[in-house]
């Protein structure tokens, strides 16, 4: 029998204090994001939003570097754990659903960081999710993206479901343009997509 897919909330709750048991939880900022921030230095600043912020490490890294950071996750337990981990944080953490974001976040952020959330969402929600992510980027602002990708439209039968070029094209349709874009082969027909997109209209 195939085990039913567990929600993220169920996974965070089941992990309890054993946060390292969560397959995506590194308990440190995502190294490619840190590298990019080191390279870009003071070139980007202002208000930042972290999509699907998990246990908060990337949001904290941005706050440490002087960004005014908002971050959200659909899982209340993830946000609770994050607040426990970083009790003195300046980040505004919220429980929120990417598919139903607060209206005040519309085109508000100079930097939006999306790491491995899109690929976690059911295929049917991808277009709306990518549109919602793009919608938070301010005019002239940047989206920093990292995802697992694949060419074929047919999804794998287990999560994560890598994103396709057609799904990422939604970001461009929503007014963003790639400024940097790289694809690194990950495994067989899978690759990692990384890059930045700027709002041009
Ligand atoms: C694979 S984890 C990645 C977490 C974090 N971005 C990282 O790279 O460590 C995907 C995250 O997206 C969150 N998530 C899934 N669906 C979401 C939704 N509809 N709205 C907001 N967050 C969501 C999950 O709770 C989870 O924390």
Q: Is the pLDDT of residue 2 over 60?
A: no
Residue 39 lies in a domain: yes
CA of 62 from ligand 1 middle (Å) equals: 17
pTM of the model: 0.96
Atom 14 in ligand 1: residue holding the nearest Cα: 52
CATH of the domain at 97: 3.40.50.150
Residue 14 lies in a domain: no
Residue 95 lies in a domain: yes
Residue 155 lies in a domain: yes
Write the pLDDT tens digit of every residue in 178-192: 999 999 987 777 889
Q: Which of 155, 69, 74, 145 is nearest to 109 (CA)?
A: 69
Residue 174 lies in a domain: yes
Q: How many domains does the chain have?
A: 1
Write the pLDDT tens digit of every residue in 130-167: 999 999 999 999 999 999 998 765 567 778 889 999 99
Residue 2 lies in a domain: no
Residue 7 lies in a domain: no
Q: What is the domain range of residue 66?
A: 32-199
pLDDT at 190: 86
Q: Is the pLDDT of residue 28 over 90?
A: yes
Write the pLDDT tens digit of every residue in 33-90: 999 999 986 688 899 999 999 999 999 999 999 999 999 999 999 999 999 999 999 9
Q: Is the CB of 52 under 6 A from ligand 1?
A: yes
The answer to whether the CB of 116 falls within 8 A of the CB of 24 is yes
CA of 80 from ligand 1 middle (Å) equals: 14
Pick the more confident residue, 158 or 126: 126
Write the pLDDT tens digit of every residue in 85-116: 999 999 999 999 999 999 999 999 999 999 99
């Amino acid at each position: 029998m195939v085990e039913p897919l567990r929600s993220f909330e169920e996974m965070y709750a089941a992990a309890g204090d054993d946060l390292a048991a969560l397959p995506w939880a590194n308990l440190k900022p995502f190294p490619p994001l840190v590298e990019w921030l080191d390279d870009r230095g003071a070139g980007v600043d202002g208000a930042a939003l972290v999509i699907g912020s998990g246990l908060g490490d990337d949001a904290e890294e941005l706050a440490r570097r002087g960004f005014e950071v908002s971050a959200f996750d659909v899982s209340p337990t993830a946000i609770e754990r994050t607040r426990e981990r970083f009790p003195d944080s300046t980040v505004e953490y919220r429980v929120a659903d990417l598919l139903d974001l607060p209206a005040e976040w519309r085109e508000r952020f100079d930097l939006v960081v999306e790491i491995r959330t899109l690929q976690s969402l059911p295929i049917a929600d991808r277009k709306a999710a990518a549109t919602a992510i793009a919608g938070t980027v301010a005019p002239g602002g940047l989206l920093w993206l990292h995802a697992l990708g694949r060419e074929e439209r047919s999804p794998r039968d287990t999560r994560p479901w890598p994103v396709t070029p057609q799904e990422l094209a939604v970001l461009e349709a929503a007014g963003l343009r790639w400024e940097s874009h790289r694809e690194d082969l990950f495994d067989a027909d899978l690759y990692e997509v990384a890059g930045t997109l700027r709002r041009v209209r």
